[in-house]
Amino acid sequence: MSAASALDPPRPRRRHSVREILGRSDYAIISELIEPNSRVLDLGCGDGALLAWLADHKRVDARGVEIDGEKVKRAIAQGVSVYQGDINEALADYPDQCFDYIILSQTLQETRQPLQVLREMLRVGRRAVVAFPNFGHWSVRLAMLFFGRAPKTRLFPYEWYDSPNIHFLSIDDFELLIARERLAVERAYFLAGRRTFRVLPNLLAEVAVYLLRR
């Protein structure tokens, strides 16, 4: 999205256009999960593309946190309220239950204390939307078995030494954590490319998206 488009009047709503605009299947799912006119905080929001889309199409009160200054600038230039800072620190400042949704899209595996982040998300927000890459995917398993090297996925093709990922969790790992924390799963989506899976997600899905609440 260019800065100029932020100045244009809001476009009429089109279904599924988010996938065309953002080109990310987890974004498409998330955008469908979020109720119109709700309050949303996106952790690690990048250049704010998802938030800008939600603000324009669902009249969402959209806020974000991002550590990378260049991305923060691009987000603010689109009119999205983004704070440059660390996810943990940002969450700690907010009062309880002041957002309808807290989004953590593909950054859970990058946080130092994922459990703490998850708990804070559900303190500050009524619901948490968590999307993460599934390191239980068959291609990761095969690569580990045959090549004996650190996991890479199609979406996260980093070498171990320059990867932002510091945790390599699978869908089954996450399900165990949810059970232990007694969190309720309202919705869950398991994706690979444009396909959605219902069976054997831990083997077939590249990305999982959960809608959680306490």
Q: Where does this chain bind another protein (CB under 8 A)?
A: 3, 6-7, 9-10, 55, 59, 61, 63, 69, 72-73, 75-85, 90, 93-95, 98
C-beta of 38 vs 81, nearer to another protein:
81
Q: CB of 15: closest distance to another protein in angstroms?
A: 22
Main-chain dihedrals φ then ψ at residue 78, nearest 5 degrees: -85, 0
Indicate the residue among 125 and 133 with the shorter CB distance to another protein: 125
Residue closer to another protein (CB basis): 78 or 106: 78
Q: Are 26 and 104 in contact (CB under 8 A)?
A: no
* Least Cβ distance, residue 99 to another protein (angstroms): 8
In whole angstroms, the minimum distance from the beta carbon of 98 to another protein comes to 4
CA gap 171, 167 in Å, rounded: 13
Q: Which is nearer to another protein, 44 or 136 (CB)?
A: 44
What is the nearest approach in angstroms of another protein to the Cβ of residue 120? 14
